[in-house]
Structure 1
Amino acid sequence: MYRNDGFRDLQRRECLRLLAKIPVGRIVYTRPGLPAVLPVDFCPETDGAVPLRTAAVSEPARVIDGAMVAFEADEVDAATHSGWGVVVTGTTTVVTYPAERKRLAHTDSRLRVPSPREVFIRIEAELVTGRDLADGGSMYGPALSI
């Protein structure tokens, strides 16, 4: 049986601070009729928006403009059973304004997907949630002995 013991909900500010520590996350979107999850590098902004850089020929660049997506990043230590996870949910926009593209191109070396034709996609943070495995315990309760 699933128990919520050991988890602590994170506030938005804490979620954004944690996201700033991680270079790779996962974008969750819908292919025609199917869910898809793809690892991406990103560089969160202080307002919670999540800009991604990808190749213009990539599937996300072709299918997610204007779509509602989720973005997830986490850090887990299997040895200590500790860690956290953050999810940003929002609508995507392909960045087309030249000054904004230039700013994003020089924002952070974490946005580093090499491509002769790159596209910046911004996820506007409509919902930011997170959980911290605060006490190092198992989310499933004590181990069962058989």
Structure 2
Amino acid sequence: MNPHDGFRELDRQECLGLLGTAPVGRIVHTRHALPAVLPVNFCLDADSAVLLRTAAESELAQAIDGVVVAFEADEVDARAHSGWSVVVTGRATVVTDPVEHGRLSRTGPRSWVASPQDVFIRIEPELVTGRELVGGRTRPPPRALRG
């Protein structure tokens, strides 16, 4: 990163700490050979894996099981021109172990939409990157109206 571009690179621990504060993120995957982005609620597991919960029959569950995806979360204050963004890249897998599914039913993310059968998707954090806007510019005062 350019040291004069107003951004500071975040280390892995800072990124994971910030992810833990975000209620919603975006999953990035491939759909019909094109990029697809969906907002999702999530949580981090004890091992820092990103956990999603979705309907077992959802297109998302079918599309990302066993493939590499990106997951992004951020916080932006447009007024203050500040914020951060974190991206986790790794393999997504549907949790199939019944014991693990039971544990995640108690501790994992809660669905915002009821489904007859939910699955948990785990994204292993192979690459974790982030940046924080530290050099936000303040807006110039509005010009006085001339009359």
1:48 is matched with which residue?
48
**Does the residue aligned with 2:47 lie in a helix, a strand or coil?**
coil
Q: Is the 8 A contact 1:16 1:46 kept in 2?
A: no
Q: Which residue is 1:87 aligned to?
A: 87
Equivalent residue for 1:8? 8
User: What residue in structure 2 maps to residue 17 of structure 1?
Assistant: 17
Distance 1:4 1:67 in 2: 36
Identity %: 64
Poorly superposed stretches of 4+, deviation over 3 Å: none
Deviation at 1:105, TM superposition (A): 1.1
Output the aligned Cα RMSD: 2.0
Query: Which digits, 9 at most, give the CA deviation of each residue in 1:10-62, with x for residues without a partner?
Result: 01001011011111100000012111000111001243210100011211111
What letter corresponds to residue 6 of structure 1 in structure 2? G
Within 5 Å, give how 1:114-129 maps onto structure 2: 114-129=114-129
Please give the TM-score of this superposition, normalised by the length of structure 1.
Answer: 0.87
Once the two structures are TM-superposed, the CA of residue 79 in structure 1 deviates from its matched residue by: 0.4
Point out the structure with max Rg over C-alpha: 2
**Superposed displacement of residue 63, structure 1:** 1.2
- Quick one: distance in 2 between partners of 1:4 and 1:125? 29
Where structure 1 has 5 or more consecutive residues not aligned to the other structure, the ranges are none
Count of aligned positions: 137
Give the AA of the match of 2:37.
V
| TM-score in terms of structure 2 length | 0.86
1:73 is aligned to: 73
Residue pair 1:12, 1:128 contacting (<8 A) in 2 also: yes
Structure 2 unmatched ranges of 5 or more? 141-147
